[in-house]
């Protein structure tokens, strides 16, 4: 389940979320939806979206409470930056073996050969690397094919009884390279917005990519960011707010 909370800073919004949901801070993931720095006679504002695993019990949250807001939403397929392992990890148990085999067979049914291996293990996260001569096709434009494969893998993991575990797929270190490109683009857009005083609406991005933009530009005092649109692939609008 997903909820939205608001605070003066990202840290405060996260604290509000943990307090109102009645869960520990390491039991949910955070996406920054909007970030506005404070200034003279103006309070800062950060809106975050909190994703809670279905297995974690939470307190009922009213539509609006003092210090924060919460709106129940569902969003799937969030991309995340994987941690690279120095060597391929051997599958640990039947579940990992089935996931690797499922990924390999899914890619083969698409008409491409590949090797699937364990990239990393974290608490409730499993990274899977796809090695293939057709990696560019499997990744797709802006990583959409990779995100689609990742979503299918997560559905399969749920059918195996692991709805609590998130599968992260990567190929050719795409997720890391994509993050670096987004950071560079965000700074360039911020400079353009500052010089023209006109807002810029970025290309549609998945939740993790949007969070990169919000976080990258959060410390620039005269720039604001806000997510717009519906569905998984929303857009970030970068605006000039000037010095207050």
Residues 6+ apart with CB under 8 A from 11: none
Listed in sequence order, the DSSP H helices in the chain are 10-21, 93-109, 135-139, 144-159, 174-196, 207-217
Predicted TM-score (pTM) of the model is 0.58
How many angstroms from the chain centroid is the CA of residue 163?
Answer: 18
Angle, alpha carbons 31-51-166 (nearest 5°): 100
Contact 177, 207 (CB under 8 A): no
Cα–Cα distance, 105 to 115 (Å, whole number) = 10
| pLDDT tens, N- to C-terminus, the chain (244 residues) | 678 888 877 777 888 888 888 777 767 777 777 777 665 445 567 887 777 766 566 665 554 433 344 433 333 333 444 444 445 678 788 999 999 999 999 999 999 999 999 998 888 889 999 999 999 999 998 898 999 999 999 999 999 999 889 899 999 999 888 889 999 999 999 999 999 999 999 999 888 888 899 989 988 888 999 999 888 788 999 999 875 5
Cα–Cα distance, 96 to 137 (Å, whole number) = 25
Show contacts of 62-66: CB within 8 Å, 24+ apart. 65/20
């Amino acid at each position: 389940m997903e909820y939205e909370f608001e605070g003066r800073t990202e840290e405060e919004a996260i604290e509000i979320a943990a307090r109102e949901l009645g869960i520990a801070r390491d039991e949910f993931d955070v996406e920054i939806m909007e970030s506005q720095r404070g200034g003279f006679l103006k309070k800062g504002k950060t809106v975050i979206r909190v994703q809670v695993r279905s297995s974690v019990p939470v307190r009922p949250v009213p539509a609006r409470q003092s210090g924060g807001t919460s709106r129940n939403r569902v969003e799937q397929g969030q991309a995340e930056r994987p941690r690279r392992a120095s060597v391929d990890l051997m599958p640990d148990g039947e579940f990992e073996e089935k996931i690797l085999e499922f990924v390999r067979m899914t890619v083969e049914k698409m008409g491409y050969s590949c090797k699937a291996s364990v990239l990393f293990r974290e608490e409730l996260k499993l990274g899977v690397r796809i090695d293939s001569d057709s990696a560019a096709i499997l990744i797709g434009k802006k990583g959409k094919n990779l995100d689609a494969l990742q979503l299918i893998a997560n559905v399969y993991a749920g059918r195996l009884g692991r709805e609590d575990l998130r599968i992260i797929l990567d190929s050719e270190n795409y997720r890391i390279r994509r993050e670096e490109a987004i950071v560079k683009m965000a700074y360039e857009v911020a400079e353009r917005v500052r010089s023209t005083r006109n807002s810029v609406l970025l290309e549609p991005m998945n939740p993790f990519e949007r969070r990169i933009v919000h976080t990258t530009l959060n410390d620039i005092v005269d720039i604001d960011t806000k997510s717009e649109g519906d569905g998984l692939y929303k857009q970030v609008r970068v605006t000039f707010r000037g010095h207050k």
